[in-house]
Amino acid sequence: MYLLNVLPEFRNLFYFRVGANAVFLNFFCRKCSTLFLSTPEIGPGLYIQHGFATIVAAKKIGKDCFINQQVTIGYTESGKTPTLGDNVRVSAGAKVLGDIQVGNNVKIGANAVVLKDVPANCTVGGIPAYIIKKDGIRVDLKLGK
C-alpha cells in the first residue's frame, strides 16, 4: 500500500496490470493523470521514473525497461506502434514512433527521435536518431530499415 500512496507512476502501472479490478482503489489513490499506458504486453520490471507527460503505446515492452519523463512511445500516421526489447532505457523527452523494433540492451538518448529499427546492444541519439555506440564501441552509424 505504501507504493500506491507514494509513487503515482507505480500506481498507474499497478492499475494497468490489475485491470478493471482497480476501480475501487483509484477512489483512494488516484492515477497519475499525465501518464498514459496503452500497451497490451508489458514485461516484468518496467520502471517509469517520472510519469509527467509520458505516453507509452507500444505493441510490446520487454522486461526490465526504464522510461523517463516526457517520453512518447507510439503511433505515426500509419497507426502502428513500436516493439521494445529487454533492458531498453528511454531517456527524457525521447520519441520512439512507428512500426519499428528496438532491440535488447538499447539506450535511447534524451530528446532522440527514433523512427527506424534499432539493433541490439546500441546507444542511439539525435534527431533523427543514429547509432552512437554499438557493443560499447563508438561508431556513428545511421539507422536503416
Residue 108, domain member (yes or no): yes
- Tens of pLDDT, residue by residue over 50-97, are 878 899 999 999 999 999 999 999 998 888 999 999 999 999 999 999
d(CA 18, CA 46): 15
Residue 70, domain member (yes or no): yes
- Tens of pLDDT, residue by residue over 12-56, are 787 777 775 556 666 666 666 778 888 999 999 999 988 788 999
Helix boundaries (H) for 31-120: none
- CA angle in degrees (0–180, nearest 5) for 107-118-109: 30
Helix boundaries (H) for the chain: 2-6, 8-18, 23-28
CB 143, CB 130: distance < 8 Å: yes
CATH number of the domain residue 74 falls in: 2.160.10.10
Q: For the whole model, what pTM was predicted?
A: 0.86
In degrees and rounded to multiples of 5, residue 21 shows phi and psi of -70, -10
The pLDDT assigned to 57 comes to 94
Residue numbers of the domain that contains 81: 34-142
Which residue in this structure is represented by grid cell 561508431? Answer: 139
Residue 137, domain member (yes or no): yes
